[in-house]
């Protein structure tokens, strides 16, 4: 989460005043905010997320600019939509923290303020540490397997607590995950990632899930919605901070688990060229989640069964990434079909 240093925020920049007054002055009660000197670090590749570090103290603020976020293939336009998404994530962070995720061992990053005028920026606390993606790389390239196992257990525990504490009192619309699968199939076919024969097979698999009924009668809980390795940051002693909750919403708890499993499958396969290298860690992740699960309508068997549906959907999602080798993307599609096979 250190990022690339790109300069110092000008004292004449309207964002400087906003940081000094709204964040340092009001949210953090820091005196002399107007005298702050902010080093600026870019945290992503698209110029959307920046870390502002006050040289005078340890205060760090992240600015997430929805005005520059990629939406519908563009980084501009649709101002009202961008402002709405900005406000939604701000409220999502507040909602999750209200559930008790404000301190060790698990926290959700603290939101400070938003400004529609300043390129639809969401300002939140900076989460120092290394993310789960780093732990995966350390396990693969430097043999730090126990570190990864410990952090996966923490992610599983956090997700279980999030799910346990947020029953919604209604059931998930089973058509929603099926529509998401339809969307993935349609996009992969449109971009010629899959041939017609494979498209038809995926549609048949989709229909089998619709008929089989495993997605029916699932109690809705709040899910992270984007449980990818870069969205879990760890300090020392595996103290976890969850970030990027813009997709927090009521859904199936298995969706979060399937996404983590798909990311593990993808990253281990990509880095090791071994299809099966991730399996011990996926089993460990599920095994760490189940003891914390309070759902009376779910068993380990039903959870893992739905988890492989979502894992298949997320492998298809990953296979859309144009920077991956086309042959490898098609391997991910093939693996997705294996997950979706009933």
**pLDDT for the residue numbered 1:** 60
Closest CA to 293 of 309, 280, 306, 312: 306
205 shares a domain with 187 = yes
134 shares a domain with 121 = no
137 shares a domain with 54 = no
Sheet of 249-251, strand order = 167-171, 219-223, 249-251
How far apart are the two ends of the chain, measured CA to CA in Å?
40
pLDDT at 90 over 80: yes
Rounded to an integer, what distance in angstroms lies between the CA atom of residue 217 and that of residue 297? 9
**What is the average pLDDT across 155-159?**
98
114 shares a domain with 73 = yes
Instruction: Please say which residue of 125, 140, 155 terminates a domain.
Output: 125
**pLDDT for the residue numbered 261:** 98
**What is the average pLDDT across 160-181?**
97
**What is the average pLDDT across 150-156?**
98
79 shares a domain with 134 = no
142 shares a domain with 37 = no
Range from 58-62, 184-188, 329-333 carrying the lowest mean pLDDT: 58-62
**pLDDT for the residue numbered 178:** 98
Residue range of the domain that includes 74: 4-125
185 shares a domain with 88 = no
> Which secondary structure element, helix H or strand E, spans residue 337, and what is its range?
helix 326-340
**What is the average pLDDT across 285-290?**
98
111 shares a domain with 223 = no
- How many domains does the chain contain in total? 2
**pLDDT for the residue numbered 62:** 97
Range from 20-29, 144-153, 160-169, 315-324 carrying the lowest mean pLDDT: 20-29
Greatest distance between any 2 Cα atoms in the chain: 65
Instruction: Please say which residue of 125, 159, 189 terminates a domain.
Output: 125
Q: What percent of the chain has pLDDT over 90?
A: 86
113 shares a domain with 97 = yes
**What is the average pLDDT across 95-102?**
98
pLDDT at 142 over 80: yes
**CATH no. for residue 34?**
3.30.200
User: What are 61's strand-pairing partners?
Assistant: 52, 125
Are 312 and 336 spatial neighbours (Cβ–Cβ below 8 Å)? yes
Q: Where does the pLDDT of residue 297 fall: very low under 50, low under 70, confident under 90, or very high at 90 and above?
A: confident
User: What are 100's strand-pairing partners?
Assistant: none
230 shares a domain with 196 = yes
**CATH no. for residue 159?**
3.90.1200.10
**What is the average pLDDT across 60-71?**
94
Q: How far is CA 165 from CA 158, 190, 290, in A?
A: 11, 40, 15
Rounded to an integer, what distance in angstroms lies between the CA atom of residue 64 and that of residue 51? 9
257 shares a domain with 220 = yes
Instruction: Please say which residue of 73, 104, 125 terminates a domain.
Output: 125
311 shares a domain with 227 = yes
Range from 66-75, 96-105, 271-280 carrying the lowest mean pLDDT: 66-75
């Amino acid at each position: 989460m250190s990022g690339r240093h790109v300069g110092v925020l000008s004292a004449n920049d309207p964002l400087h005043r906003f940081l000094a007054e709204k964040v340092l002055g009001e949210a953090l009660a820091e005196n002399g905010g107007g005298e702050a000197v902010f080093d600026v670090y870019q945290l992503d590749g698209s110029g959307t997320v920046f870390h502002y570090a006050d040289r005078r103290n340890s205060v760090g603020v992240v600015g997430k600019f929805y005005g520059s976020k990629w939406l519908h293939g563009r980084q501009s336009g649709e101002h009202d939509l961008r402002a709405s998404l900005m406000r939604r994530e701000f409220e999502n962070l507040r909602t999750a923290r209200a559930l008790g995720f404000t301190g060790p061992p698990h926290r959700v990053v603290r939101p400070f303020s938003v400004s529609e005028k300043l390129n639809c920026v969401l300002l939140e606390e900076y989460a120092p540490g290394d993310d789960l993606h780093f732990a995966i790389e350390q396990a693969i390239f430097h043999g730090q397997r126990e570190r990864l196992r410990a952090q996966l257990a923490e992610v599983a525990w956090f997700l279980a607590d999030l799910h346990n504490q947020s029953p919604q009192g209604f059931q998930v619309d089973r058509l929603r995950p099926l529509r998401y699968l339809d969307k993935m199939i349609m996009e992969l076919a449109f971009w010629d990632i899959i041939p017609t024969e494979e498209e038809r097979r995926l549609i048949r698999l989709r229909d089998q899930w619709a008929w089989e009924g495993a997605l029916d009668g699932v109690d809705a809980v709040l899910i992270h919605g984007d449980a990818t390795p870069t969205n879990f940051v760890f300090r020392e002693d595996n103290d976890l901070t969850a970030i990027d909750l813009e997709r927090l919403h009521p859904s199936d708890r298995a969706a979060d688990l399937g996404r983590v499993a798909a990311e593990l499958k993808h990253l281990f396969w990509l880095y090791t060229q071994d299809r099966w290298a991730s399996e011990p860690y996926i089993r460990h992740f599920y095994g760490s989640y189940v003891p914390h699960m309070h759902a009376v309508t779910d068993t380990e068997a039903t959870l893992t069964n739905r988890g492989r549906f979502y894992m298949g959907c997320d492998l298809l999602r990953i296979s859309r990434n144009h920077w991956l080798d086309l042959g490898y993307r098609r391997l991910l599609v093939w693996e997705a079909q294996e997950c979706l096979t009933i």
